[in-house]
Amino acid sequence: MTNQYLSGLVLEGRRVVVVGGGGVAQRRLPRLLESGARIDLVSPSITPTIEGLLGNPSLTWIERGYAAGDLDGAWYVVVATDDAAVNDQVSAEAEERRIFCVRSDDRSRATAWTPASGQHDNVTIGVLGGGDHRRSAAVRDAILEGLRIGELAARDVDRRPGVYLVGGGPGDPDLITVRGRRLLAEADVVVADRLAPQQLLDELHPDVELFDAAKLPRGRAAQQEEINRILVERGQQGKVVVRLKGGDPYVFGRGFEEALACAAAGVPWTVVPGITSSISVPAVSGIPVTHRGVTHEFTVVSGHIPPSHPDSLVNWDALAQLHGTLVLLMAVENLPAIASRLIEGGRPAGTPAAAIADGTLPGQRMVTSDLAGIAQAMADEGVGAPAIVVIGNVVEVAEQARVGSTTAEGVGDGSDVESA
């Protein structure tokens, strides 16, 4: 087996030549572009994805086959054609000019190998598995996962104090972002909503100071003030503070109120977006919020205030005139009034509707009806909050897919989705 010397190349501002415009080149180009290299791509044709990269000024497409002299001034060469004769020609010229050359077809004839690589913060991981691509990738992924979730000691290398507003996703702990999970592993303090993925709290380090935002004292307004106080106070103490929320911090999550409180106190803050339940919960239930030929828009609305309330900021009559999908959050209690107002405003009473409770969690349940009957259907089936309500023809489209599905895994199968 050939022995390799693993090294990090500084390619910024230096010429790199890539020969070939197919799938291998497509995979290599993004990281080469990230390195700051000046890349000349030599190929008579390229993939659509590579074509989309040509807006980057560091990438130039030379639209022809390889020719002698194309390596002039190059520091590094990637050969990725399906023509062995061309690959031999390029690697021979690279050898003659003492330019390190990677070959996608025959690593035994290359002077450089591309490691399985990945990045975590400012740490770059590169793994060479002796020619076994799958082994290299598996080891790389294991190292990156250890760094991301804090199992490796490197998690303490670059801890930046401040407040992090983290979206935990719709409920399933696997649906939090990689960065969100890593921050939980690095946290000194966690302030968690009741709708945040609760299983993640069991993974916290024993020394983490945990505040249950659902059980803070006094009323709702005072509760938010207390949350703000904790975030600011602990942030001023130089701690890593994670404010863990369900869904996305800025989708009816009061995240920006907390950001403003931190900004006013001079505490550094960062938002880490999450997967919003308004899209993801319908999706895992088999309902797309948009579908070609059915809807060109979807609208997400908070239903925590009834339409007749003087504090309501929603133009329900305007919503009733839309033809697209309407997604209601926090609307279970006021759903009868909301449905009536939409029907009064012109939305057909027979518009398909669905309600999904405990979305992405083991107890997920879904009921379907129409706009006029969805509130009663929920009551009859005992489906309560937290629930997402979807109104629109996409519900009917999803029903057609469920009826026609024969998959065993429940993809598009309503019975499996509802009992998940």
Q: Is 239 a catalytic residue?
A: no
Where is the domain boundary, 92, 125, 158?
Answer: 158
Residue 369 forms beta bridges with which residues?
A: 353
Residue of 156, 202, 207, 215 marked catalytic: 215
Question: Which three-class secondary structure state does DSSP give residue 165?
Answer: strand
Both 337 and 384 in a single domain? yes
Both 220 and 285 in a single domain? no
Both 311 and 349 in a single domain? yes
Both 75 and 102 in a single domain? yes
Residue with tokens 């939980």: 184
Q: Is 193 a catalytic residue?
A: yes
Residue 120 forms beta bridges with which residues?
A: 123
Residue 352 forms beta bridges with which residues?
A: 370
Both 257 and 198 in a single domain? yes
Q: Which amino acid makes up residue 248?
A: D
Both 26 and 55 in a single domain? yes
What are the distances in angstroms from CA 191 to CA 224, 234, 259, 330?
12, 11, 14, 21
Both 95 and 134 in a single domain? no
Per the structure, how many domains does the chain have?
Answer: 4
Note whether residue 3 is domain-resident.
no
What the block records as the tokens of 327 is 């997604």
Which uninterrupted H or E stretch holds 220? helix 220-236
pLDDT tens across the length of the chain (420 residues): 567 788 889 999 999 999 999 988 998 898 899 899 999 999 999 999 999 999 999 999 999 999 999 999 999 999 999 999 999 999 999 999 999 999 988 878 888 888 887 777 677 888 887 777 788 888 888 888 777 666 665 545 456 899 999 999 998 999 999 889 889 988 999 998 888 888 888 888 888 998 888 755 555 555 889 999 999 999 999 999 999 999 999 999 899 999 999 999 999 999 999 999 999 999 999 999 999 999 999 999 999 999 989 999 999 999 999 999 999 999 999 999 999 999 999 999 999 999 999 999 888 999 999 999 999 999 999 888 889 999 999 999 887 776 655 443 333 333 333 322
Strand ranges for 218-362 from DSSP E: 240-245, 269-272, 298-302, 325-329, 352-357
Residue of 40, 193, 358, 413 marked catalytic: 193
Note whether residue 107 is domain-resident.
yes
Note whether residue 1 is domain-resident.
no
Both 127 and 84 in a single domain? no
Indicate which CATH number applies to the domain containing 231. 3.40.1010.10
Both 251 and 312 in a single domain? no
d(CA 249, CA 54): 35
Indicate which CATH number applies to the domain containing 68. 3.40.50.720
d(CA 180, CA 197): 11
The boundaries of the domain holding residue 145 are 115-158
d(CA 41, CA 284): 41
